[in-house]
């Protein structure tokens, strides 16, 4: 089915850019971005949209009380799908009610860990590093009335390396986001991935990449990764 996508973004918009480039490369008119909306007039995402000749809108927020609501913007541009891309506000209930299973978000960690109110941008990666977690990743999920809370559509793991900084980790995760998000947005917006049907390809491939089928190799890898002395059972 054809889909008219609205992208909501508060920041630089690299995920918006990745989506635009992916849709342009696909070369079908099936799904296209018809408007980019922001709560911040200086959002880099708005500049990227203008450069791509896509309509932009400032939407209502405490800083712009006179601006149209998100719902007004959706109706005005006859948009039928919302992709959040670094949008920092919760969406109003009436908007979510109008677009059931038609609103998705990407989060730069493996939800449900490292998500929720206040967990955005560098804060997410700092929390991952401080926790000692050795795996992070990107999560695409449906959006509901809570931050980073709706059903998960796709995840892809990213290793956390010993000498990682917030910068190096966020760059590694962002690279995955730019591949994963456009593809999932397109699949959900076009109706190929539907609510309730469990999308398989991306999550299963990700799990398989992490899986060791050979138990000896698993034992050897864990022992060598963590500097653990081989035990008699692992040597057998
Ligand atoms: C991304 O890391 C995304 O996961 C999160 O906000 C960031 C937006 O980055 N929701 P950008 O504006 O798309 O560059």
Give yes or no: residues 14 and 104 share one domain: yes
pLDDT at residue 201 is higher than 60: no
Residue 205 lies in a domain: no
Q: Is the pLDDT of residue 152 over 70?
A: yes
My answer on whether 153 and 111 are in the same domain is: yes
Shared domain check, 135 and 234: no
Q: Please tell me whether residues 231 and 155 are part of one structural domain.
A: no
pLDDT value at position 196?
A: 62
167 and 186 in a single domain? The answer is yes
| pLDDT range class, residue 154, cuts 50, 70, 90 | confident
**CA-nearest residue, atom 1 of ligand 1:** 86
Q: Give the residue numbers spanning the domain of 75.
A: 3-199
Residue 98 is part of a domain; what is its CATH number? Answer: 3.40.50.170
User: Rounded CA gap, 217 and 212, in Å?
Assistant: 7
Which of 15, 44, 91 has most ligand 1 atoms within 8 Å of its beta carbon, as the pocket-test mutant? Answer: 15
Res 205: pLDDT: 66
**Overall domain count for the chain:** 2
> How many whole angstroms separate alpha carbon 124 and alpha carbon 101?
25
The verdict on 153 and 216 lying in the same domain is no
Mark whether 42 and 63 lie in a shared domain: yes
Neighbours of 67 (CB within 10 A): 18
Helix, coil or strand: residue 73 = helix
Distance, in Å, from the CA atom of 43 to the CA atom of 50, rounded to the nearest integer, reads: 11
Residue 166 has pLDDT above 80, yes or no: yes
Task: Determine the pLDDT at residue 26.
Answer: 87
Residue 98 shares a structural domain with residue 177? yes
Per the domain annotation, does 95 fall within a domain? yes
Entry pTM: 0.89
- The three-point CA angle 82-64-143 to 5° equals 25
Same domain, 53 and 118: yes
pLDDT, residue 233, reads 57
Calculate how far, in angstroms, residue 162's C-alpha sits from the geometric centre of ligand 1.
24
Name which residue sits closest to atom 6 of ligand 1, judged by CA.
86
For 227, counting Cβ atoms within 10 Å of its Cβ (0-12 exposed, 13-18 middle, 19+ buried), the class is exposed
Whether 204 is covered by a domain: the verdict is: no
% of the chain beyond a pLDDT of 90: 72
pLDDT at 82: 98
Percent of the chain that is helix, strand, coil (3-state, to 5): 40, 20, 40
The answer for residues whose C-beta is within 8 angstroms of residue 48's C-beta and 6 or more apart is 13, 16, 17, 20, 36
Closest CA to 170 of 231, 127, 212, 210: 127
Reported as a single tens digit per residue, the pLDDT across 129-138 is 999 999 999 9
The answer to whether residue 107 is catalytic is yes
Say what the pLDDT of residue 231 is.
58
Q: Which SS3 state, helix, strand or coil, does residue 191 take?
A: coil
| 179 and 215 part of one domain | no
Distance 136 CA to ligand 1 centre (A): 15
Regarding whether 160 and 233 lie in a shared domain, the answer is no
Q: Summarize pLDDT for 25-66 with one digit per residue, the tens.
A: 988 678 999 999 999 999 999 999 999 999 999 999 998 899
Pairing of strands 81-84, 55-58: unpaired
């Amino acid at each position: 089915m054809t889909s008219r996508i609205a992208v909501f973004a508060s920041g630089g918009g690299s995920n918006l850019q990745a989506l635009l480039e992916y849709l342009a490369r696909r070369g079908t008119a099936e799904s296209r971005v018809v408007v980019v909306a922001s709560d911040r007039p200086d959002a880099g995402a708005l500049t990227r949209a203008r450069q791509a000749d896509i309509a932009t809108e400032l939407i209502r927020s405490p800083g712009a009380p006179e601006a149209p609501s998100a719902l007004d913007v959706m109706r005005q541009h006859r948009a039928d799908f919302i992709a959040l891309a670094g949008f920092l506000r919760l969406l109003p209930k009436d908007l979510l009610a109008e677009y059931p299973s038609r609103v998705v978000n990407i989060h730069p960690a493996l939800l449900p860990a490292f998500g929720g109110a206040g967990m955005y941008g560098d804060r997410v990666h700092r929390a991952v590093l401080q926790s000692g977690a050795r795996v992070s990743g990107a999560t695409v999920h449906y959006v509901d009335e809570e931050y980073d809370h709706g059903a998960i559509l796709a995840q892809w793991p990213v290793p956390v390396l010993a000498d990682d900084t917030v910068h190096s980790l966020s760059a590694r995760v962002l690279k995955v986001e730019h591949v994963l998000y456009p593809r999932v947005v397109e699949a959900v917006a076009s109706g190929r991935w539907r609510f309730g049907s469990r999308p398989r390809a991306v999550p299963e491939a990700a799990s398989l990449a992490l899986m060791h089928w050979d138990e000896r190799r698993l034992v050897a890898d864990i022992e060598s990764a963590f500097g653990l002395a081989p035990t008699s059972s692992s040597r057998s």
